[in-house]
């Protein structure tokens, strides 16, 4: 999540690829396949998204003081699964829909604890606590305010959609590949091949990899995935990905970081 908060960069650990670059790359995925962010017919929901998923140990190398990082353990879910950063309706500028200037100001200043709590049911809240460790820093409030407000759906449905999408990736060979390579390295080609294997030929070309620098190491920090179509309760991730436009792959290779500072 480099760049998504005011403390996204630590001295000597500057991200190789800025957040804006990752997001614009993600925007490229699927760009041009919809009508410029117009609502989908009937449902009123945008049909183009970027799903951003994090490799949390890499994030924590540069955010060691965040609550979700101080509490991370080698056995917690986020040690070896992808976590939810965000589900971003496109185009890129589609943000803060109907949000007050005061809340935008709090959000941009990183005062996420000052933002309203999200209205989700107990099941969704529990799932977010596991799959979105940043909830310990009120990341979900920021994500709803900046992106979710433009999704055209309820807070509960928005997070359920996002959780279902991350769940599909965590149940795939992409998660297996990362889990098997913790402490080692992966190439863009290997990652894209795993997406093809799990979600159909060409899926990997809709995925962009963001890396960050940690001393001499280059860490895989985040994947952004283009999605086009309606996200249903049991989403067909293969179909959503295949409808997106190919993107450049971002980072060519990087380390699959292990929990703890290396
Ligand atoms: Ca680490």
Q: Does residue 12 carry a pLDDT above 70? A: no
The answer to whether residue 260 sits within a structural domain is: no
Backbone angles phi, psi at 156, to 5 degrees: -65, -45
**Nearest one of 253, 250, 213 to 10, comparing CA atoms:** 213
Residue 38 has pLDDT above 50, yes or no: no
CATH number at residue 222: 3.90.730.10
The fraction of the chain above a pLDDT of 70, given in percent, is: 82
Confirm whether 3 is domain-assigned. Answer: no
Separation of CA 257 and ligand 1 centre (Å): 5
Q: Model confidence over 184-202: pLDDT tens digits?
A: 999 999 999 999 999 999 9
Spacing, Cα 35 to ligand 1 middle (Å): 41
Question: Hey, how many other C-beta atoms are within 10 angstroms of the C-beta on 122?
Answer: 7
Q: What pLDDT score does 44 carry?
A: 52
Percent composition of the chain: helix, strand, coil (DSSP 3-state, to 5): 40, 15, 45
On whether residue 109 sits in a domain, the answer given is yes
pLDDT digits (tens, 9 = 90+) for 66-77: 999 999 999 999
Please state, in angstroms and rounded to a whole number, the distance separating the CA atoms of residues 96 and 118: 15
Q: Is residue 4 in some structural domain?
A: no
> Mean of the pLDDT values across residues 101-124?
98
Q: How far is the CA of 102 from the centre of ligand 1 (A)?
A: 36
Confirm if 228 and 47 have CB atoms less than 8 A apart: yes
- For ligand 1, the distance from its centroid to the CA atom of residue 79, given in whole angstroms, is 10
Asked if residue 208 lies in contact with residue 224, where contact means CB atoms within 8 angstroms, the answer is yes
- If pLDDT is split at 50, 70 and 90, which confidence band does 43 have? low
Query: How many angstroms separate the first and last alpha carbons of the chain?
Result: 19
Total-model pTM: 0.84
Q: How many domains is the chain partitioned into structurally?
A: 1
If you measure from the C-alpha of residue 244 to the centroid of ligand 1, how many angstroms do you get, rounded to a whole number?
32
Q: What is the domain extent for residue 114?
A: 19-255
Kind of pairing, strands 48-54 and 217-228?
Answer: antiparallel
Helix 188-199 with 173-180: angle, nearest 10 deg: 150
Q: In whole angstroms, what is the distance from residue 157 CA to residue 102 CA? A: 25
Q: How far apart are CA 87 and CA 15, in angstroms?
A: 21
Residue 153, pLDDT above cutoff 70 = yes
Among 78, 5, 16, residue whose Cα is nearest residue 260: 78
Tens of pLDDT along 217-246?
999 999 999 999 999 989 999 999 999 999
Using alpha carbons, select from 166, 131, 27, 167 the residue that is nearest to residue 89. 27
Spacing, Cα 85 to ligand 1 middle (Å): 18
pLDDT value of residue 2? 42
Supply the mean pLDDT for the chain.
87
Assign 147 to helix, strand or coil.
coil
Percent of the chain at pLDDT > 90 equals 81
Residue 8 lies in a domain: no
Centroid of ligand 1 to alpha carbon of 255 (angstroms)? 10
Q: How remote is the CA of residue 229 from the centroid of ligand 1, in Å?
A: 36
- pLDDT tops 90 at residue 259: yes
Per-residue b or e along 54-68, where b marks 16 or more CB atoms closer than 10 Å to that residue's CB: bbbbbbbbbbeebeb
- Give domain status of residue 171, yes or no: yes
User: What is the average per-residue pLDDT within 39-61?
Assistant: 80
What's the CA-to-centroid distance between 204 and ligand 1, angstroms? 25
Mean pLDDT, residues 32-58 taken together? 67
Confidence class for position 92, pLDDT limits 50, 70, 90: confident
Cα of 256 vs centre of ligand 1, distance in Å, is 9
**From ligand 1's centre to the CA of 92, what distance in Å?**
30
Using the mean position of ligand 1's atoms as its centre, give its distance from the Cα of residue 218 in Å: 11
In a domain, residue 261? The reply is: no
- CA distances 240 to 40, 86, 199, 226, 243, Å, are 14, 16, 10, 8, 6
- 122: β partners: none
Residue 90 included in any domain: yes
What is the Å distance from ligand 1's center to 61 Cα? 6
Name the residue with higher pLDDT: 56 or 93. Answer: 56
Ligand 1 center from residue 56 Cα (angstroms): 9
């Amino acid at each position: 999540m480099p760049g998504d908060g005011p403390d996204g960069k630590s001295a000597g650990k500057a991200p190789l690829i800025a957040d804006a670059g990752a997001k614009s790359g993600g925007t490229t995925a699927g760009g041009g396949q919809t009508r410029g962010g117009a609502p989908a017919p009937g449902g009123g929901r945008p049909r183009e998204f970027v799903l951003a998923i994090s490799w949390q140990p890499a994030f924590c190398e540069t955010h060691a003081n965040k609550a979700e990082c101080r509490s991370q353990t080698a056995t917690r879910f986020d040690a070896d699964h992808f976590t939810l950063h965000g589900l971003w309706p496109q185009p890129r500028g589609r943000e803060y829909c109907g949000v007050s200037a005061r809340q935008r100001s709090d959000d941009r200043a990183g005062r996420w604890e000052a933002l309203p709590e999200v209205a989700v049911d107990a099941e969704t809240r529990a799932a977010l606590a596991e799959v979105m460790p940043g909830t310990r820093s009120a990341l979900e409030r920021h994500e709803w305010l900046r992106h979710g407000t433009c999704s055209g759906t309820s807070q509960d449905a928005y997070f359920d959609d996002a959780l279902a999408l991350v769940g599909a990736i965590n149940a795939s060979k992409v998660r297996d590949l990362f889990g098997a390579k913790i402490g080692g390295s992966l190439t863009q080609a290997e990652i894209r091949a795993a997406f093809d294997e799990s979600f159909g030929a060409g899926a990997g070309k809709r995925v962009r990899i963001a890396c960050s620098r940690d001393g001499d190491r280059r860490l895989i920090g985040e994947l952004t995935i283009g999605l086009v179509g309606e996200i249903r309760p049991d989403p067909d991730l293969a179909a959503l990905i295949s409808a997106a436009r190919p993107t450049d792959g971002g980072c060519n290779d990087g380390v699959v970081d292990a929990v703890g500072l290396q």
